[in-house]
Amino acid sequence: MPQVSVTGESGEVYEVARESGGDGQGSSRRCRDRAGRERVYKQYGAPPNGRDLIGSAARTVLFGREIVLAAEQQAGSEEWAAASINWPIDLVLREQALAGVITPVLPAEFLRPDGTPLTFDQLVIERPAPYFRVGVLIRICDIFVVLDERGLAHGGLTEHNLAWNRSQPHAHLVDCDGLRPAQGDGDRLALAGLIYRGLFLSPAAPKVATGERQLPGIPVELDPALRALFVRAFAGSPAPHGRPSAGEWLAGLQAAFLTPDRAAYRPDALALIDRPGPPVDDEATVVASISLTKETAGSPVLETVPARTPPAWHTNQGGQPAEPLLATPFAAGRPAHPPASGTKVAGILAAIVACLGVIALIGYAALRTNDPNDSTDAFTSYSSSSSSYTPPATTPPFDWNTLDSAAGDKTPFTTDALLPQSFTDAKQVEYTLRGGGVHDCITSGMSRNVKSILTSHQCNQLVSGSYVDTSDQILVSIDVFAFATAGEASGLYNAIKDQDQDWTVWCPKTGAGASVCDNNAGWGTYRAWGLQNHRYLYESTAMYINLTRDKSITDWLDAAASALDKQAGPANYWKN
C-alpha cells in the first residue's frame, strides 16, 4: 500500500507503510522514523477524546521515550525489566483528539512464525520445564514492579497481553497504549491469576471466594508464604490494596523457588510444580491396530556418534486411496470419531507388527516450528535426563526396585519425567520431542477389549509423546501407562498380548508430522512395539510422514519404535 506520513507530538515524522493487523477498534501499521528505526503506528478507529485521557497518555509517553530511546543505545538492555514493556513513545493528535500512538516493534523472539505475539496462554499449553515457568513469572513480576513504581496499571491485563520467549525465560508486556494511573488493586487480581496458571498449569484462575482458606490445585507442601499470597489474592479482603502487589509476588517466588543467594533454582521446590495440569478439551483420540510382545528393557543409552538421516520418502505404490477411511478430514486439535474397528493386524513377526490399519492421529501440546535452527522444537531442559544430574557423593544409588510399586515410585506422571527430550535409535537417527501431554487413560479410539482391561486395572491417565526425526521424515508416537504394581502391569500385558488390539497414537498439531492427521493414514505402513518394565507399559508406533507403502523401509521404523520404548520411562526423571 502507498506510504503516508504522520507527525507525532514529539515532532518526529513517521513514514507509515503496510498494515500489519487490526482489532476492530483500529489498525496497526509498520512505520519508520527519520533515523530509519522501525516502529508501529496504532491508529484508532474511533479516536478517544478528553483532556484527562490525553494528559495521562502524554505522561506515559514521557516514561516510554526515556526508557526505549536509552535501551536502543545500550547493549544488554534486553535484560532491563523496564525495556520489557511495549511503551507508547509518541502520540498522534488530530483536531485535539488522540488519533493513534507510536510504539516500538515487538522483538522477534516474542513472535510466532506468523508475526503475532507468542502469548501466555501458549505457555500454559506447551508446559515448559518448571524452572522455565518460574523464570517467566519472575520476569512478569519485575515488569509490574516497574509499573507500580511509576503509579501505572495496564488496566486490561489478560493472558493475551503478555508475550514470552521459548529460548529463555523472558516476558514482554504488549498492548500498552492504554497504560493509566493505577487505582485500587489495579492489575493485582489479574497478575495473581497469571501466576497461578503459570505455576500449576491451570486453564483458568480460581474463582474469588472471600473467606476461603483452601484453594484448588495448590500443593500442600508449597512454601507457606507463597501459599498465603494466593489466599490473599483469591480469598482475602476485597478492599483496595488488599491483594498482593507485584513486589510481594516477586519476593514470594524468589524465596520459594530460588536458593538464598538467588544463584540457582531449588530442585525440591520445582518438583512440587512438576505435575500435569488439568486436561484440555481440544484434542482427539486416535486409533491404531497393534499387538504387544513382552521384552526386557534396560536403562536408556544415547550413543555419542554422528546422527544419520533415514532414506528419503518413497512414492506411494498404487496411487492415492480413492476414499479416506474417515468420513471427512478434520483439523489437528479437533475431536473426530474414528471408524468402527475392523482393520486388524495382518500378521506378527517376532516383536514387530506391520500394520495397514485405520489411524486418525491428533497431537496435544505440540512445539510448533519447522525451522531446524529454532529452539522451539524442543523443550528447554531442566536436568530432565538422568544422565545430566550428578548427585553428591553421599547420595546413595537409586533403588530401581522402587519402580515396581506406586507406593515406592516417586516419579511424577508427566512428559518431562517419563519422556526423553530426544533419542537416538540403533541406526543412529536422532528424534526430538515435538508434542506431549497427559490424557485420560481410556480414549474413544481404543478397541473394546483394551478399554475393558485398562478399566479393570484402574488405569486413570496416560502420557503421550510424538517425535519426528531431524530430517522431518519419520513420526514416532508413544503411549505410557502406569499401574499400581509391576505384577498388575505384567498381568495386563499377558492377558492381552495375543489379542487383536486398537491403541491410541498421537502426532503433533502443526509442523512436520501434522499432515498425518489430515490424510488416510491407513494407506501407509507402520511398525509398532510394546514393552512392559516395572509398573509401566509402553506402546510405540513409527511411520513415514508421507504414508509410503514401501516395505523396504520397515527396518528404519522398527529401529525407531523399539528405541523409544526402551528410552522412555522413569530413568528420564532427574531424581531417579
* Per-residue model confidence as pLDDT tens digits over 446-473: 788 888 888 888 888 999 999 999 888 8
Point out which residues pair with 503 in neighbouring strands: 288
- CATH 3.30.200.20 fits domain 1-105: yes
Nine-digit cell at 216?
A: 484448588
More confident residue, 359 or 409: 409
Q: How far apart are CA 87 and CA 64, in angstroms?
A: 5
pLDDT surpassing 80 at residue 307 = no
Has residue 22 got a pLDDT over 70? no
Q: Which class in CATH covers the domain with range 109-278?
A: mainly alpha
**Which helix (DSSP H) or strand (DSSP E) does residue 432 occupy?**
strand 430-440
Q: Do 405 and 486 meet the contact criterion of CB atoms below 8 Å apart?
A: yes
β-partners of residue 406 are none
Q: What is the pLDDT of residue 389?
A: 36
pLDDT reported for residue 401: 85
Strands, E assignment, 291-355: 348-349, 352-355
pLDDT in tens, 27-41: 889 999 999 999 999
Q: Where are the domains of the chain?
A: 1-105, 109-278, 280-296+348-368+400-576
Q: Is the pLDDT of residue 213 over 80?
A: no
Q: How far apart are CA 267 and CA 410, in angstroms?
A: 14
Report the alpha-carbon distance of residue 171 to residue 110 in Å, rounded: 8
Mean pLDDT of 430-434: 91
Is a pLDDT exceeding 50 seen at residue 294? Answer: no
3-state secondary structure 522-570: HHCCEEEEEEEECCEEEEEEEEECCCCCCHHHHHHHHHHHHHHHHHCCH
For the chain, report the end-to-end CA distance as a whole number of angstroms.
Answer: 60
Round to whole Å and give the CA distance between 291 and 354. Answer: 10
500-539 pLDDT per residue, tens: 777 777 878 888 888 776 665 556 788 888 889 999 999 9
Backbone phi and psi for residue 140, each to the nearest 5 degrees, phi listed first = -60, -45
* Residue 42, strand partner residues: 28, 101
Q: Report d(CA 161, CA 149) in Å as an integer.
A: 20
pLDDT tens digits along 217-251: 788 889 999 999 999 998 866 665 689 999 999 99
Predicted pLDDT at 251: 97
Enumerate helices (H) and strands (E) in the chain, giving the number of each. 11, 20
Q: Report which of residues 365 and 39 the model is more confident about.
A: 39
Contacts of 283 (CB under 8 A, 6+ apart): 333, 335, 362, 363, 364, 437, 439
Q: Minimum mean pLDDT among 38-42, 112-116, 159-163, 226-230: which range?
A: 112-116
Q: Residues for the chain: how many in total?
A: 576
For residue 512, give the nearest of 365, 373, 367 by alpha carbon.
367
Model pLDDT, residue 198: 95
The reported pLDDT for the residue numbered 513 is 83
Percentage of residues in the chain having pLDDT higher than 90: 41
Is 363:505 a contact under the CB 8 Å cutoff?
Answer: no
- Please tell me which residue, 488 or 281, carries the higher pLDDT value: 488
Q: What is the 3-state secondary structure (H, E, C) of 170-230?
A: CEEECCCCCCEECCCCCCHHHHHHHHHHHHHCCCCCCCCCCCCCCCCCCCCCCCHHHHHHH
> Mean pLDDT over all residues of the chain?
75
Angle value at C-alpha 464, between 203 and 383, nearest 5 degrees: 85
Which range among 208-217, 271-280, 284-293 shows the weakest confidence by mean pLDDT? Answer: 284-293
Of the listed ranges 252-266, 312-326, 407-421, 425-439, the least confidently predicted one is: 312-326
Which helix (H) or strand (E) is 32 found in, with range? strand 26-32
Q: Which residue has the higher pLDDT, 49 or 154?
A: 154
Q: Is the pLDDT of residue 394 over 90?
A: no
* CA gyration radius, the chain: 27
Nearest to 194 by CA among 256, 236, 131, 134: 134
Express as a percent the part of the chain with pLDDT over 70: 72
Query: How many angstroms separate the CA atoms of 131 and 273, rounded?
Result: 9
